[in-house]
Amino acid sequence: MHVQRILAGISLHAPNPRAALTAAEIAAVAPADLEVMTVLASPWELVRADEVEDLRRTQVGSPAEVAAERARERLQQLAAPAVLSASRVTYRATFGWPSVELVRRAEETGADLIVLGNSGQGAIGPAENVTAATLRRSRVPVLIAPPKHEVYQRVLACVDDTPRADAVLEAAAALGDCLGVETVALHVETAAAGIAAGRRPWLRRLEDAAGGGAVLAVETVVRQGEVVSEILSEASTGPDALIVFGYHRGLNYGAAGAVTTVAARLLRRTTSALLAVPV
């Protein structure tokens, strides 16, 4: 994972620039280009019906053009103080479903990372749970900033015994190097499986990576118990951590009871920063 372009989604409905702040901090150290984006359901959110005739008469622009310009101005007013640390910032406003437009824009621009705020509606708008819907569609990692801004001091990679853990470790180590913080590989075993039996596959992959020259300088931690509870316990122990985990695209992570994966339970239970890596 090499971060060169970052897309941050910000709401004009429930403004909170924490996603822009998090994105700007990563953009500053990567270094990377940052685009801050908002999505409106329709032009009528920012253009009144009684303005239409004046717009036609003065030929200022269509309602959509005027609404987009007003949205960009509001977005810049909201986010500009938060993105001072990023050297290259652009602003964009568009219309549609937030998760669809965010993922489309990420693909158009070749973004390496999408950043959202962790709020009830995913930090873009009231029409959908944007965090869950974006995860369902995105082909690039999605960083979910916590309600309270944190300066990350650890990157906590949640690894299992499958080959999919390689992508999680790679993304975690890359982000840890980028931020200049410690990367920790966390493996959780159930009591029935036993710690000794579960360590070998994922530890072997770390050793193989080191032997091949792609050295992953990570600390390893093994816990025993219920997976999500142990991840949250480890994250709450010590300095503020960014939790990195893998997830499957196409699943519904938003509705309670819709899926029971580790990723879904992490999204529902934690207020920590999360980096979701599609695997």
In tens, the pLDDT along 155-205 reads 999 988 887 888 898 899 889 988 889 999 998 887 665 555 444 566 666
Q: What is the mean pLDDT of residues 207-224?
A: 66
Is the peptide bond preceding residue 278 cis, with omega within 30 degrees of 0? no
Q: Does the pTM of the predicted model rise above 0.85?
A: yes
In sequence order, what DSSP letters do the residues of 174-241 get, joined into one string? HHHHHHT-EEEEEEEE-TTT-HHHHHHHHHHHHHHHHHTT----EEEEEEES-HHHHHHHHHHSSS-E
Buried b (16+ CB within 10 A) or exposed e, 105-132: bbeebebbbbbbbbbebbbbbeebbbbb
Cα(266)–Cα(247) distance, integer angstroms:
11
Cα angle 26, 277, 262 (rounded to 5 degrees) comes to 125
Cα(230)–Cα(273) distance, integer angstroms:
16
CB-based contact 226:187 (threshold 8 Å)? no
User: Class of 154-278 per CATH?
Assistant: alpha beta
Domain boundaries, the chain: 5-145, 154-278
In tens, the pLDDT along 226-265 reads 999 999 999 988 888 999 999 888 776 655 555 567 888 8
In tens, the pLDDT along 73-116 reads 999 999 999 999 999 999 999 999 999 999 999 999 999 999 99
Cα(244)–Cα(185) distance, integer angstroms:
10
Tracing tokens 């990679």 back to the chain, one arrives at 157
Tracing tokens 């489309």 back to the chain, one arrives at 104
CATH topology identical between 5-145 and 154-278? yes
**Of 3.40.50.620, 3.30.70.920, 3.40.50.1100, 3.90.226.10, which CATH number belongs to 5-145?**
3.40.50.620
User: Within 10 A of 168 (CB to CB), how many other CB atoms are there?
Assistant: 25
CB-based contact 83:34 (threshold 8 Å)? yes
In tens, the pLDDT along 22-51 reads 999 999 999 999 999 999 999 989 888 888
Helices (H), ranges, the chain: 18-29, 52-58, 63-79, 98-109, 130-137, 165-179, 195-211, 227-236, 262-269
